[in-house]
Amino acid sequence: MQGGLPLNDQILRACKELIDDAKMGCADLVFKEICLEILSRAGHVLTERQFKQLAAYASEKMKEKMSFELQQELAMNK
């Protein structure tokens, strides 16, 4: 245990942070691909309960719309 959390809890938190970072910096399709990759890898190290929690978190993030400002910025960079 490091920092008071079991390793798989730290991994769960890190996966959520990766999902949040991807949501802020990627186009929608790329974000969804990243989420699928994170879930694929996390399934090997998280408990079933944690994996379900992460899958629900990723699903909610996928349903959220991108901020208007980020959509404009991405459109300008194309």
- Using the predicted structure, report yes or no on whether residue 63 has a pLDDT greater than 50: yes
Give the pLDDT of residue 44.
92
pLDDT > 50? residue 1: no
Q: Is the pLDDT of residue 78 over 60?
A: yes
58 neighbors 20 (Cβ within 8 angstroms): no
In the three-class reduction of DSSP (H, G, I as helix; E, B as strand; rest coil), residue 38 is classed as helix
12-39: pLDDT as tens digits = 999 999 999 998 888 888 899 999 999 9
